[in-house]
Structure 1
Amino acid sequence: MAETPRFPNLDNVDLVVGRCGGLVSFTVGVGCYQSVDFIEEERPLSAEIVDRGLRVLASGCSSLRRLVVANASELGLLSVAEECTKLQELELHKCCDNVLLGVGAFENLQILRLVGLVSDIGLMIVAQGCKRLVKLELVGCRGGFDGVKEIGECCQMLEEFSVCDHKMEAGWLGGLGYCENLKTLRLVSCKKIDCGFGLGECLSRSCPALERLHLEKCQLREKDAVKALFKMCEAAREIVFQDCWGLDDDIFSLAMALRRVKLLYLEGCSLLTTQGLESVILHWHELEHLKVVSCKNVKDSEISPLLSALFSDLVELQWRPDTRSHLWSSLTETGIGNKGGKFFKKT
């Protein structure tokens, strides 16, 4: 990295500490320097060494747009922020609250991904310093109502909020109601949505601009938490359930609160039955797109006349609940479920 100034037109750099002998490898392209990955998962570099590399990187790559780094300190990030004023996307691994003091110096930051034990304090630091955020992803983070609320109040351009494998405090969902321009909420690999205490906060307000709710590999067994989530997302037009555990007929019935759904995508939801699906979607008068894949308890033989009539009114239908389903091929031949000639778009 000491020779970085020799390559002012680097297009893409992948800088990874070698697993043998401490070697460094990178790729050289042409054009404006845009992206750096600086991560070693098995044997992370010390913060001192990472910071030294960041200082050299910043001095020679002022056009940096994206940075991925692990185990950096506040000072290392500040050195990058000072020189790389065009940086728009930052991904921090093994980070904590103190490290985020350096994040607020990135004036043009729009996309931030945090992997580590970030608490309410860290979220508040981000909120005060990164007011142009459009996308925020928290992986394995803590935090709660106060931190999420602060993000919503300060980062008014925030459109996409993702939470993965979280350790968030009870009542954190309530803070989402302050994200007035949030359009997409993604929950991935969450063992719980919210642990219950403080869910009353969620019922006082919802996300008015929300368009998409995406749930993937989440535990949906706690009825009160799911009810609060759906209340928060009552304006959503697109709903995705992908390989979610606990989504039975009883839990899915809570989705009737989502009155404006136009697109529903169900995949790998083995507990949901045909009757459970029907009881909800017959209440969704704006539904246009339906995709059901690998949901083994949803069966062709149990489709009622009402559900069949709904299928015929859809703009698009993709129906493959199990390997025995023959409905998909017959619908394809008749053109049912493809009124608008549009393809299903997976969110």
Structure 2
Amino acid sequence: MSLSPEGQLKPPVRRRPSWSEPWFKDQDLKHVVLKLRRHSLSEMPPLEPDETLALTLDHPSIPNFTSLLSDELLIIILSKLPESQHIPNSLVCKRWSKLSGRLVRSLKLLDWNFLESGRLVYRFPNLVYISLVRACIQSPCNSGILLTHKFVSVHLDSFSSGGGFIRKQDLLHSDLINRGLRILAQGYPNLRKLVLIGASEEGLSSVAEECLTLQELELHCCTDFSLRGISGCRNLQILKWIGCVDGFYNAVISDIGLTIVAQGCKRLLKLELVGCEGSYDGIKAIGQCCLMLEELTLCDHRIDGGWLAALSYCANLKTLKFQSCKCIDSSPGPDEHLGSCPTLEELHLQRCHLRDKQGVRALFLVCEAVRELVFEDCWGLDNNVFGTSSICRRVQSLSLEGCSLLTVEGLDLVVLSWKGLQRLRVVSCNNMKDSEVTPALAALFSVLKELKWRPDSRSILSSSLLGTGVGMKGGRSFKSV
């Protein structure tokens, strides 16, 4: 308050709110409109913020200042907000709903009718990633039981699983899926990634014809011959093919399907096969035709013995991963027939059974040029089996996690033979004891560029490492430049 020349009190001057003030305070658009229109609502009963904003924008007797903004400007403003606020903002009014839908790039569809009715394309016109798996499975959505797997999740109404939790009759009919895929392909010609289940050749063909920029495809429960539909995906770079998931569904992945993929998708960079069967011939076809393939992942494979020799045909393979495999190769054959992958840089073994020394040794022979070796929660990896990894003379980085059978003695024999080793990571290998670290191994620790030594939660390196920075508080992990 201030005094006038006549000595009377003057009312305070209210500063008009500006658009820029709320943005510097990192507030929601709701608060912007509320500040602009607060004086218009001063005589109305108090409302919640969402109700006030909706009333401000939709009430016919109240000016809507956001209408002064063009769609292009308003969508830029909306894009600056966190993604978590896109849905609340879309509920403000019809215009905001339409503009917020243009910001959405990825979506997992739950209701198939939303696609068939055309509402999906109208509501979200700029999608580049769509997953249709949940929408293709006919399951009771109101069930209190949700079974989740690494690759798929489904609602259950009972525990009767004669042929798996997802039976053939639980999937939408192929004609229905094909019709939906045609709508999808025509509505999203710029689609980059698509996740499907139970798709047929006809449905995949429509996607291949319309979505010329499709780069990543994930297929669940598809047969060999359905893959003839993706031969038109000339720019496909990443393919994840899930055939068998124990307890959920079972589709056969054989040499026929692998050959179709090899001949139709020659620009593949990454290939992941889950629950696949097949043999030497299928892997050989992949290696001979997909000359750009850089990463191959095999999860829970059931490939016939003798297939490891086919890896030598993958001339540019850089990363090889095994996940949850019960066997590497049951019958690898003579060493002279195995060949090798000269460009291989990384070999990952995660949650695999490695009790078969012959198969593991054959794998290391094929991967003798590898630079980075990773073991994670592998069963049967004892000193004897791990000792075969000394074949890989060029290893620069070794990571061991959850290898409870390994001892310091087994580690010592292998890592000291690798003259180029620069990085070592040992975590949760409870059978390794600090007291067993030899002077030679301690000397190696002191010259490594990167070391993480935590075989168990109580591990404290011995005094022989004093001066290296290892063994001190917070010093069990270090990097040297």
TM-score higher than 0.5 here? Answer: yes
Shift of 1:120: 0.7
1:340 alignment partner in structure 2: 480
2:224 alignment partner in structure 1: 97
Counterpart amino acid of 2:350? E
2:58 alignment partner in structure 1: none
Report the secondary structure of 1:92's partner residue.
strand
1:44 alignment partner in structure 2: 171
CA distance in 1, matches of 2:455, 2:434: 8
Q: Which of 412, 427, 431 is residue 278 of structure 1 equivalent to?
A: 412
Q: Which of 163, 168, 182 is residue 303 of structure 2 equivalent to?
A: 168
1:102-138 CA-to-partner distances (Å, cap 9, x unmatched) read 1211010000000112101110110001000000000
1:270-292 CA-to-partner distances (Å, cap 9, x unmatched) read 00011001110000000000000
Shift of 1:46: 2.3
Counterpart amino acid of 2:313? Y
Instruction: Specify whether residues 336 and 50 from structure 1 end up closer, same or farther in structure 2 by C-alpha distance, changes over 3 A only.
Output: closer
Whether 1:16 and 2:110 are equivalent positions in the alignment is: yes
The correspondence of residues 105-120 of structure 1 with structure 2, limited to 5 A, is 105-116=232-243, 117-120=252-255
2:149 alignment partner in structure 1: none
Q: Which of 16, 20, 34 is residue 128 of structure 2 equivalent to?
A: 34
The correspondence of residues 169-188 of structure 1 with structure 2, limited to 5 A, is 169-188=304-323
- Runs of 4+ more than 6 Å apart: 23-31, 334-337
Unaligned runs of 5+ in 1: 1-6, 342-347
Instruction: Specify whether residues 332 and 290 from structure 1 end up closer, same or farther in structure 2 by C-alpha distance, changes over 3 A only.
Output: farther
Q: What's the TM-score, normalizing by structure 1?
A: 0.89
Report the secondary structure of 1:308's partner residue.
helix
Counterpart amino acid of 1:115? I
Shift of 1:71: 0.1
Q: Which of 323, 327, 344 is residue 192 of structure 1 equivalent to?
A: 327
CA distance in 2, matches of 1:10, 1:28: 12
Shift of 1:178: 0.4
Instruction: Give me the identity figure in percent.
Output: 51
Shift of 1:44: 2.3
RMSD, aligned α-carbons: 2.6
Counterpart amino acid of 2:189? S
Instruction: Specify whether residues 103 and 332 from structure 1 end up closer, same or farther in structure 2 by C-alpha distance, changes over 3 A only.
Output: farther
Would the aligned equivalents of 1:217 and 1:242 in 2 still touch at CA under 8 Å?
Answer: yes
Report the secondary structure of 1:280's partner residue.
helix
1:133 alignment partner in structure 2: 268
Q: What's the TM-score, normalizing by structure 2?
A: 0.65
Shift of 1:172: 1.4
Report the secondary structure of 1:327's partner residue.
coil
Larger relative contact order (Cα-Cα within 8 Å, sequence gap ≥ 6): 1
Would the aligned equivalents of 2:423 and 2:448 in 1 still touch at CA under 8 Å?
Answer: yes
The correspondence of residues 1-347 of structure 1 with structure 2, limited to 5 A, is 11-17=105-111, 32-40=126-134, 42=166, 43-116=170-243, 117-196=252-331, 198-200=332-334, 203-327=337-461, 330-331=470-471, 338=478, 340-341=480-481
Say which one has the larger Rg.
2
Unaligned runs of 5+ in 2: 1-100, 135-153, 155-165, 244-251, 463-468
Shift of 1:222: 0.5
Would the aligned equivalents of 1:173 and 1:202 in 2 still touch at CA under 8 Å?
Answer: no
Instruction: Specify whether residues 336 and 242 from structure 1 end up closer, same or farther in structure 2 by C-alpha distance, changes over 3 A only.
Output: closer
